[in-house]
Every structure is written in structure tokens, then in C-alpha cells.
Amino acid sequence: MFEDFETERIDVGEASIFVRFGGVGPPVVLLHGHPRTSATWHRVAPLLTGRGFTVVCPDLRGYGRSIGPAPTADHSAHSKRSVADDVVAVMRSLGHNRFALAGHDRGGPVALRLALDHPEVVSRVALIDCLPVSEHLSRITAEFATKWWHWFFFAQPEIPERIINADPDGWYRGDPKTMGEENYGEWRAATRNPDVVRAMLEDYRAGLTIDRRHEEEDHAAGKRIRCPALILWSLKDDLEDLYGDPVSIWRRWTVDVRGHGIDAGHHVAEEAPDALASSLSAFFTGSE
């Protein structure tokens, strides 16, 4: 995986972030979701470097090989604001003060937070298979609670750790053929690490508490993403089934937005890398 990419561990203060980077050209950051690592981009990243981008793929705080602080009572140590600050620090360490950004799944709310908190550093943002956490929570239905029950299970204290760590291979399911053998191996090692499992659960606990509050405060204050935004979603996933056109929801958070679906399941970077890389490349160059 990631031939011709470099790896580095960057100390950002509270956390130590593992990052892959390669290519020459305008910088692009790719943020993974749950329960993946930066390796989920192993098919997309080389396509983007081949199209003239510098590509940076970090493991989010506490995920994969990134080491974060101990959980805090208010979950702020694993808030999207803290994770977004990590990304800014990593990019500055690599010499990039402004960059394009893509976030998938849980990486999407991180990308939203980064664009709201640090508008001066984000040139363009792509948000993939996600909505703001507060938008999900304001639209809870029986269908959502049934399909996305894990959000509320993960938020419980201590119980999820005990259950998941008792049988991580049974809890987290993946197919090495679909994912790629090396990506699968890295992901499996992460899901067997109790510290990683705890951090991933804290991500969700933060989502239902401090992240929701931050989003609602910003929305009430009229803050919006000021740079161009691209909304992508997997046509074989359930985002559109639950909410209709995701772009219509993201219009509440953006001033310049467009979007479309991609024929893939939820892990689009692994299942449809060519289509995803083409959409991202066209958007990041302004040729879409």
C-alpha cells in the first residue's frame, strides 16, 4: 500500500498523530471514518497523487496508530474540535498552511468542524456519506434508531468496551478481498487494540454531547462553511433513503455547495476508488 508515500508520527501536543503523505502539488487531506484507519484510502491516494496533488492521510486521534489523551468526563478530548485542531497542526508541521479537505463518515464532522473553526486554512471541502451530527439527531425516527442503533450503544459508559473487547473479530466485520489484504490487516490490528476501541467509542460519546453543542451554537450564530463544498454519498448505503437529497440539508451549513451519489456501498474509497478519485480531483481543481 501507499507506494512512494512517506510515514511520520507528528506530536501535536495532546496527541501523537500517525500520518502518510506523498505526491507533489496542491495539498489534499483525506480523513477516514469509523472503524477504519488512513489505510482505507490506499486505492484513492495514489490516484490523486497521479493527478498532481500532495495527499496527506492521517489516522484520526486515537484511531489506528495515532495516540490520543485519556478520555475526559465531558468527552472534549475526543471532540471533533480537538481532532480538527490535530489536522491543522499536522499540516503546518508538513509545511502546508492552506489545503483542500475530504472527510468520510466520522471524518466528515471533523472536516465540518475544521472548516468552521479554521476557515482560513481550508480551500475546498468534500463531505462523504455524512451529515452534521446535530442534523442526524434532530431527525431521529424509529427507522434511524433501528438502523443506526450503534450510535446510542457506543454512548453508554463502559458497557461497549466490555462487549466489543471480548470479541473484536466478531464485532468488527471486514472482507480482506474487498478491503485489500494490507488495509484489512492494519484495520484488524487496530480493532484488537482496547485503547483504540476506547477512543473510537469516545468519538461517538463526544458526538452526542459536546460536538452536538458546538454545532448547534455555530448554527444559531449563523456560521457556515464559506469555501466551496462537495457532498458525496454512496447510493448503496442508506443516507439518501433516510433523508432524501443530502445536499438540501447541507445547504443549511454552506454558501457554495453541490453534490451527487456514487454507485458503491458505504466504504466508497475501497469499493469505488476510481469514481471517488475522479469526483474529488475535478472538485479540488475547480473543473467539476
Q: Which residues of 83-122 are buried (b: 16+ CB within 10 A; e: fewer)?
A: bbbbbbbbbeebebeebbbbbbbbbbbbbbbbbbbbeebb
Candidates 59, 105, 203, 237; catalytic one = 105
From the first residue on, what is the mean pLDDT of each consecutive set of 10 residues in the chain (288 residues)?
96 97 98 98 98 98 96 97 98 98 98 98 98 95 92 95 97 95 98 98 98 98 98 96 96 98 97 98 91
pLDDT tens digits, one per residue of 6-58 = 999 999 999 999 999 999 999 999 999 999 999 999 999 999 999 999 999 99
Reply yes or no on whether 266 is catalytic: yes
Share of the chain above pLDDT 90, in %: 99
- First CA to last CA distance, the chain: 28
Q: Would you kindly state where each structural domain of the chain is located, as residue ranges?
A: 6-284
| Strands across the sheet containing 122-128 | 6-11, 16-22, 54-58, 27-31, 99-104, 122-128, 229-234, 257-262
The pLDDT of residue 281: 98
Candidates 34, 118, 219, 266; catalytic one = 266
Residue in this structure with the C-alpha cell 450564530, named with its chain if needed:
221
The pLDDT of residue 43: 98
Domain 6-284 has CATH 3.40.50.1820: yes
Contact in structure between 228 and 100 (CB atoms under 8 Å):
no
φ, ψ of residue 160 to 5 degrees: the values are -60, -40
Residue in this structure with the C-alpha cell 474487498, named with its chain if needed:
178
The pLDDT of residue 125: 98
Reply yes or no on whether 75 is catalytic: no
DSSP 225: B
Contact in structure between 19 and 184 (CB atoms under 8 Å):
no
Contact in structure between 48 and 172 (CB atoms under 8 Å):
no
Helices 80-93 and 107-117, axial angle in degrees (round to 10): 70
The pLDDT of residue 287: 75
pLDDT tens digits, one per residue of 168-189 = 999 999 999 999 999 999 999 9
